[in-house]
Amino acid sequence: MANYIQRKQDVFLSFRGEDTRNGFTSHLFSALCNAQVETFMDDNSLERGEQISSSLQKAIEESKVSVIIFSQNYAGSRWCLGELVKILKCKKEQQQIVVPVFYEIESSNVRHQTETYKDAFKKHEERYKEDKNKIRKWREALTEAANLSGCYTISIDKVIRKIKKITIFNDSN
């Protein structure tokens, strides 16, 4: 049985700031807001640390849809990987809808952790030698998310249409 959560926003954006914050993600955020889709995008002032903050976890839980913007360096961020694990937990426990967006990266690179994702995991494995379970969860989360129906970033309009279709459908249920 799903837990009941009061939804505060329609969409949560998960992204690697250095890759997409000042480009694709900020444009997507603006377009969603202009389309009257309530959207959460972290503002860089949220507390950073080893684990994702409780305020960020709450924002994920309170969203109808999570959009994961996979980019070249997404897997290099422990923060992004922590968000991803939380998002997939909400998908499983609360039926949250998850939409992967592949920004200048192939879904197979995410799914199989090749190229930059392979390099990122070499570093994570060195750092977390004693916590192989964390690495396993991150790898499984990337594979699971990359297997979901998503979008390649041909245009922001395509992503917005998909999100609006999902949020309108969910509002009618």
Q: Indicate the helix (H) or strand (E) that contains 143.
A: helix 132-146
Query: How many C-beta atoms surround the C-beta of residue 130 within 10 A?
Result: 7
* Dist CA 49 CA 51 (whole Å): 5
H helices of 21-95, in order, are 26-34, 54-61, 78-94
Active site residues: 83
